[in-house]
Amino acid sequence: MSQKKLKNLHSEKSPLMTAAKVIAVLLALIFSCAMTVLSGAGLIYNRNSYGSDMAVTGFFLILSAVLMTSGTVLCIFRKNAANILSLIFSSGGFILCMVMLHKLITHADRCGWTNKYTLQPISSMYRSRVLPCIIPVALTVAIALIQLFSYDMKQYRRQRRAEKKAKENAPAPPIVDD
């Protein structure tokens, strides 16, 4: 396969994949970024009444939101390193977010935090705000895996390896000119 044809294969974009990337970025901005950051910022802002332990939880919620959102942004690019980092950031941020959400919900239930108007537990509010971040994370992981294991990317990596091997095995240039 020629180099020009290989580069064209690598640059082809599926409209379905483009739509999935746009949806993933929009959902990440809404759920992973906005909701999680606002929940964490509220905990940090009210640290005088919640305690320093909940302020740390708020900080880690914000950190998890940054990781999940950056993972989604990285999956836009069709590079191997970007897709691998996308998988690491998205899954790591999601795990951190779920651990902090569990810690927050447990603390809220233990302290008896309720909505002053409806008297419903605050833990259900946090759960409904933060838990939907699983949607953009799952979409990001799926996009990154599809891009990593797609046929054209395998061909591109195979061709790069062959070129590198050919370059290593090329004859050395003459030392003395005759």
Mean pLDDT, residues 30-35 = 92
pLDDT at 167 over 90: no
pLDDT at 144 over 60: yes
Residue 13: name the closest of 160, 146, 139 by CA.
146
pLDDT at residue 54, rounded to an integer: 92
Helix, strand, or coil (residue 116)? coil
Mean pLDDT, residues 108-129 = 89
Q: How many residues does the chain have?
A: 178
